[in-house]
Amino acid sequence: MEKFEHKIWLSSPTMHGEELKYVTEAYESNWMSTVGENINETERMIAEKVGCKHAVALSSGTAALHMAVKLAGVKPGDHVFCSDMTFDATVNPIVYEGGVPIFIDTEYDTWNMDPIALEKAFELYPDVKVVMIAHLYGVPGKIAELQAVCKKHNAVIIEDAAESLGASYKGIQTGNFGSFGAISFNGNKIITGSSGGMLLTDDEEAANKVRKWSTQARENAPWYQHEELGYNYRMSNVIAGVVRGQIPYLEEHIAQKKAIYERYKEGFKDLPVRMNPFDEKNSEPNYWLSCLLIDEEAMCRQVRGETDALYISEPNKSCPTEILETLAACNAEGRPIWKPMHMQPIYRMHPFVTRDGNGRGRTNAYIAGAGTDVGADIFHRGCCLPSDNKMTAAEQEKIIEIVKGCFR
């Protein structure tokens, strides 16, 4: 297959020009630090767009999650339930506060936390009071069911909506379903500041605490007075200028990403694959990344180690490793599905709960038919496709043909 002349990215920043205007204003007014009009406006605009009362601009989505964990009162030794199939930025902030993550398996309908496994986890660990829920690849999880389980057990929800800005469930945007939410403006997100994130909450006191903590917890005194631990987590007014210029284009980016998803879905209709699913009745994703899952009987043999993978090509079959290597050879970027946290060396000894109960002791490698380890199965059979909203329809058609060729 002929290579693309320029690289087709997984998801790269899409700039429009307004960003430079606000960055220039920060430069020309000399408001280059962590205060300024860009920060104020970005917080106001995001709170208005998402539908929450307060948004606090921070240096990253990870910083926002850390502040949420601190607000939720996690103390050293506390267990916290957490999505398993996610990026480790969902989990690490729990550990920053000395908490112990307990990983909850995934369900096939949305690729997010399984409410049945969450209920089983509360049976095993009834004292847990904080649940960290991520919305994977811009797709809302089974929010009503997860909320019901958490309400039953009097647990606080923290929403990791880093990937799902603009996605909605029953008409309400993600980031509004927990006590605290977090979004990300990392360079590959649906809108970007090159970096940056935001804490979302309806609690004014919580928002003010985060504003204090994120600026080294300075007290109201004429000198630098400190009575509690603080952090250098506030967003720069320059970065806020980029985000401010991006916000009006959120819906446009979502529409472009949706078109990409729909073209893949149509293009792959004759292949033994399925696109990453969502609840079509209740939710509207932001379609951040388009992913596919290969039918089990159409998988060729594939083995993954800690840092490498091998496969054996078979007629009419393929696997994520073959697809990703073939795309890379054609100058296109795909990516494996997030490797579940319970399979990561750093967290491998932590508790892992499936809908069948405690999943500790499972092998690191996925074995077909070896139980209900849904996250490991999706990781084994799935991959993320090039989803850049600057990719043309013709370029995407070529991507589709490349993937089809892997199954011949």
pLDDT tens across 217-227, in order? 999 999 999 99
The full set of domain ranges for the chain reads 18-249, 250-406
pLDDT score at 362: 45
pLDDT tens across 6-38, in order? 999 999 999 999 999 999 999 999 999 999 999
Q: How confident is the model at residue 358 (pLDDT cuts 50, 70, 90)?
A: low
User: With 50 as the cut, is the pLDDT of residue 364 above it?
Assistant: no
pLDDT score at 359: 60
User: With 50 as the cut, is the pLDDT of residue 390 above it?
Assistant: yes
Tokens of 219: 């007290």
Exposed / middle / buried, residue 197 (Cβ in 10 Å: 0-12, 13-18, 19+): buried
Q: What angle in degrees, to the nearest 10, is found between the helix axes of 393-406 and 320-329?
A: 130
For the chain, what percent of residues have pLDDT higher than 90?
95
Nearest 5°: CA angle at 119, between 115 and 125? 135
Mean pLDDT confidence for 285-298: 98
Mean pLDDT confidence for 68-97: 98
Question: How many angstroms separate the Cα of 126 from the Cα of each of 16, 81, 82, 142, 241?
Answer: 50, 11, 15, 21, 45
State which fold the 250-406 domain adopts.
Aspartate Aminotransferase, domain 1 (3.90.1150)
> How long a stretch of residues is the chain?
408
**Cβ neighbours of 12 (radius 10 Å):** 17
- Phi, psi of 118, rounded to the nearest 5 degrees: -65, -45
Question: How many angstroms separate the Cα of 78 from the Cα of each of 51, 89, 131, 231, 391?
Answer: 31, 18, 12, 22, 45
For the 18-249 domain, the top CATH level (class) is alpha beta
Q: What is the pLDDT of the chain when averaged over all its residues? A: 96
Which DSSP letter does residue 52 get?
-
pLDDT score at 25: 96
- Phi, psi of 353, rounded to the nearest 5 degrees: -120, 125
User: With 90 as the cut, is the pLDDT of residue 60 above it?
Assistant: yes
Domains 18-249 and 250-406 fall in the same CATH topology:
no
Looking only at the bridges linking them, the beta strands covering 156-160 and 100-104 are: unpaired
Cα–Cα distance, 232 to 230 (Å, whole number): 7
pLDDT score at 369: 39
pLDDT score at 360: 52
User: With 60 as the cut, is the pLDDT of residue 361 above it?
Assistant: no
Of 13-22, 119-128, 236-245, 352-361, minimum mean pLDDT range: 352-361
Tokens of 136: 């994977």
Mean pLDDT confidence for 375-394: 98
Q: What angle in degrees, to the nearest 10, is found between the helix axes of 143-152 and 115-124?
A: 20
Residues 6+ apart with CB under 8 A from 281: none
Exposed / middle / buried, residue 314 (Cβ in 10 Å: 0-12, 13-18, 19+): middle
What's the whole-model pTM score? 0.95
pLDDT score at 357: 76
- Phi, psi of 62, rounded to the nearest 5 degrees: -65, -40
Of 24-28, 110-114, 274-278, 372-376, minimum mean pLDDT range: 372-376
pLDDT score at 367: 40
| Residue 401: alpha-carbon gap to chain centroid | 28
Q: How confident is the model at residue 365 (pLDDT cuts 50, 70, 90)?
A: very low
The residue type at 319: C
